[in-house]
């Protein structure tokens, strides 16, 4: 009997370990790049609390003080959380929040240290940190920017950090540098005023062992693919594009894998294997920031600056030049568009068959993603400006204003403010969700929120 019980216990333990390993290996359960799986911003079954208090510690799993400045979101694979920062004792201006039209740069030419930090997501304990490079930044930053804006990407074997003009770096999960690349000066500036330097912000993605980067800059814009294990170039394509701050995404048309890029002069898609251009179009906000997202057979694009602020719903079978005529809102491959519905900064969110778009002033527009029909529009809370893109979990949306107030909205066909919680300091970074926690990056720290009572 004792031997039978021992055998049964070993079998149960093996099943638990196997299930745990399956969860670690499942990309859908990882927050592996900007806004998680395919930049969707959704992680259900997290059972997050509706209330927390940073000062008293209520439902605060841990806090970790991050040196320097960075607007990169945390990425997580298994129990490892990664984040980047740029450190300088002389760059002390912090961030200027609010809605304003100043295009000037922060006048700082001090030496910086670009660092990758790896924490245990459950405890906040430091596992390792590595300095990628040191020096005076090749680009100045905007007052609402940093020198570490790009979110990292990981596939569970490697983790990649992109610091724009300071280079692209690949580490293994233990922090050993595997390879690095220097692309020279990547001028991330306002296209109309070239001395308005705002710093690089496009994040890398990893898909099936390949790193994709989008570099829309003042000169020599390009999109490129590299083997994540070796850094070897697979393909690289020039782009005729204004400087932009968009992160690419992956979508599928049947058995064909595509790379989708937002843009102004050159929004489009490329073949994942060869880099061949599949389709393109122009039009939209002329300072492009949001990442394209996916819904069924549609790729959804969003931008807003200058005279145009459209949303486009483009069919996955698109090919050729899709540019709309002056009075057109749809064509063979553009299922629908809204000429004045876009958002300047925010990546949209599709959740439970509804599309949400947050604007800089905190107005949230809810749409039918199949048709573009408006379901409701309402401002989330009372904040002055909102930069962080929203995320969702278990029927709730999380919208953050620049001062660090988190508004929890009910996902559905009518506006409902369920709760609001103050992080206590500036927050302009999209949250990340993993396991039973949601992670917020503020100006000074990472905060892990979880239901600590259960």
The arithmetic mean of pLDDT across residues 401-419, rounded, is 98
Cα 245-250-251 angle, rounded to 5 deg: 130
Q: What is the CATH number of the domain that holds 243?
A: 2.130.10.10
- Strand arrangement, sheet containing 158-162: 153-154, 158-162, 168-172, 177-181
**Would you say 276 and 269 are in contact if contact means Cβ atoms under 8 Å apart?**
no
E-state strands within 104-231? 112-120, 126-135, 153-154, 158-162, 168-172, 177-181, 189-190, 193-197, 205-207, 210-215, 221-227
Nearest Cα to 205, choosing from 188, 189, 225?
225
Rounded distance between C-alpha atoms, residue 119 and residue 83, angstroms = 9
CA distance 105 to 120: 35
pLDDT bin (cut points 50, 70, 90) of residue 25 is: confident
The DSSP 8-state label assigned to residue 287 in this structure reads: S
- Per-residue pLDDT at 322 exceeds 70: yes
Query: Over the stretch 428-452, which tens digit does the pLDDT of each residue have?
Result: 999 999 999 999 999 999 999 999 9
What are the tens digits of pLDDT across the range 337-380? 999 999 999 999 999 999 999 999 999 999 999 999 999 999 99
Average pLDDT estimate for 329-336: 97
Which residues lie closer than 8 Å to 3 by C-beta, 6 or more apart?
none
Determine, yes or no, domain membership for 341: yes
Structure tokens at 179: 């390879």
Tell me, yes or no, whether 108 lies in a domain.
no
Q: Is residue 38 part of a domain?
A: yes
Long-range residue pairs from 286-289, CB within 8 A, at least 24 positions apart, any chain: 286/191, 286/242, 287/190, 287/191, 287/242, 287/243, 287/244, 287/245, 287/344, 288/216, 288/242, 288/244, 288/245, 288/246, 288/262, 288/263, 288/264, 289/201, 289/244, 289/245, 289/246, 289/262, 289/344, 289/345
Distance CA 46, CA 394 (A): 7
Residue 5 has pLDDT above 90, yes or no: no
Q: Residue 7 — pLDDT band, cuts 50, 70, 90?
A: low
Q: Among candidates 261, 250, 257, 258, which has minimal Cα distance to 216?
A: 261
For 370, the token pair is: 């199949």
- Report pLDDT for 18: 41
Alpha-carbon span 74 to 211, nearest angstrom: 18
Question: What pLDDT is attached to residue 21?
Answer: 52
Across residues 84-96, what is the average pLDDT?
95
DSSP β-ladder status, 334-338 and 320-321 = unpaired
- The pLDDT assigned to 217 comes to 98
What is the average per-residue pLDDT within 184-193?
Answer: 96
Residue where the block lists tokens 């959704």: 42
pLDDT of 13 over the 50 cut:
no
- Report residue 81's pLDDT band, with 50, 70 and 90 as the boundaries: very high
Of 8-12, 40-44, 72-76, the range with the lowest mean pLDDT is: 8-12
| pLDDT given at position 124 | 98
pLDDT score of 224:
98
Q: How many domains does the chain fold into? A: 1
E strands, 316-454, are: 320-321, 334-338, 349-351, 354-358, 363-367, 374-379, 391-393, 396-400, 405-410, 417-422, 432-434, 437-441, 445-450
Look at residue 151 in the predicted model and tell me its pLDDT. Answer: 98
Rounded mean pLDDT of 186-210? Answer: 97
Burial of 441 (0-12, 13-18, 19+ CB in 10 A): buried
SS3 label, residue 8: helix
Tell me if 307 is assigned to some domain: yes
The whole domain housing 78 covers: 29-100+113-450
pLDDT at 156: 98
In 3D space, the residue among 444, 441, 403, 435 whose CA is nearest the CA of residue 421 turns out to be 403
pLDDT given for residue 12 in this prediction: 45
pLDDT value for 102: 87
Binning pLDDT at 50, 70 and 90, where does residue 10 land?
Answer: very low
Pairing, β 277-281 against β 320-321: parallel
Q: Is 433 helix (H, G, I), strand (E, B) or coil?
A: strand
What confidence tier does 384 reach under pLDDT thresholds 50, 70, 90? Answer: very high
Helices assigned H by DSSP within 233-325: none
* Lowest mean pLDDT across 17-31, 79-93, 127-141, 182-196: 17-31
Residue 13 lies in a domain: no
**Other Cβ atoms closer than 10 A to 98:** 12
pLDDT category of residue 14 using cuts at 50, 70 and 90: very low
Mean pLDDT (the chain) is: 94
Q: The pTM is what?
A: 0.94
Residue 1 belongs to a domain: no
pLDDT band at 99; cut points 50, 70, 90? confident
User: Does the residue 74 lie in any domain?
Assistant: yes
> Residue 3 has what pLDDT?
58
- Two tokens, residue 44: 């259900």
Residue 105 resides in a domain? no
pLDDT at residue 71 tops 90: yes
Give the angle 244-39-25 at the CA atoms, nearest 5°: 135
Q: Report the pLDDT averaged over residues 149-157.
A: 98
For 234-281, write each residue's pLDDT tens digit.
999 999 999 999 999 999 999 999 999 999 999 999 999 999 999 999
């Amino acid at each position: 009997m004792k031997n039978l019980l021992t055998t049964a216990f070993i079998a149960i333990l093996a099943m638990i370990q196997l299930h745990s390993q399956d969860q670690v290996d499942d990309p859908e359960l990882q927050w592996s790049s900007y806004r998680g799986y395919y930049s969707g911003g959704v992680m259900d079954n997290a059972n997050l609390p509706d209330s927390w208090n940073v000062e008293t510690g209520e439902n605060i799993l841990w806090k970790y003080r991050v040196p320097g400045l960075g607007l990169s979101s945390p990425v997580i694979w298994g129990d490892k959380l990664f984040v980047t920062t740029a450190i300088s004792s002389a760059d002390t201006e912090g961030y200027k929040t609010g809605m304003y039209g100043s295009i000037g740069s922060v006048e700082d030419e001090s030496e910086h240290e670009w660092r990758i930090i790896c924490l245990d997501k459950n405890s906040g304990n430091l596992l390792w940190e590595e300095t990628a490079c040191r020096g005076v930044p090749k680009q100045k930053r905007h007052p609402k920017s940093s020198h570490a804006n790009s979110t990292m990407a990981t596939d569970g074997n490697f983790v990649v950090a992109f610091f724009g003009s300071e280079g692209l770096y690949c580490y293994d999960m233990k922090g050993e540098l595997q390879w690095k690349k220097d692309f020279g000066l990547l001028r991330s500036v306002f296209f109309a005023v070239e001395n308005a330097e705002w710093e690089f912000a496009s994040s890398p993605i990893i898909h099936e062992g390949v790193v994709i980067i989008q570099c829309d800059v003042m000169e020599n814009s390009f999109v490129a693919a590299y083997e994540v294990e070796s850094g070897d170039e697979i393909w690289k394509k020039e782009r005729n594009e204004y400087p932009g701050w968009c992160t690419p995404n992956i979508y599928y048309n049947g058995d064909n894998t595509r790379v989708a890029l937002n843009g102004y002069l050159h929004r489009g898609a490329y073949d994942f294997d060869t880099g061949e251009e599949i389709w393109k179009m122009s039009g939209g906000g002329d300072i492009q920031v949001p990442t394209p997202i996916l819904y069924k057979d549609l790729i959804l694009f969003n931008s807003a600056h200058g005279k145009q602020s459209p949303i486009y719903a483009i069919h996955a079978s698109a090919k050729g030049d899709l540019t709309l005529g002056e009075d057109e809102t749809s064509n063979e491959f553009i299922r629908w568009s809204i000429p004045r519905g876009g958002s300047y900064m925010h990546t949209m969110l599709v959740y439970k068959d509804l599309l949400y778009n947050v604007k800089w002033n905190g107005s949230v527009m809810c749409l039918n993603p199949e048709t573009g029909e408006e379901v409701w529009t309402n401002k989330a809370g009372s904040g002055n400006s909102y930069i962080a893109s929203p995320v969702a979990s278990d029927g709730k949306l999380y919208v953050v204003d620049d001062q660090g107030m988190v508004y929890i909205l009910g996902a559905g066909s009518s506006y409902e403010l369920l709760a609001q919680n103050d992080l206590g300091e500036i927050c302009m970074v999209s949250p990340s969700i993993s396991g039973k926690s949601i992670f917020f990056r503020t100006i000074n720290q990472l905060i892990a929120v979880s239901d600590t009572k259960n």
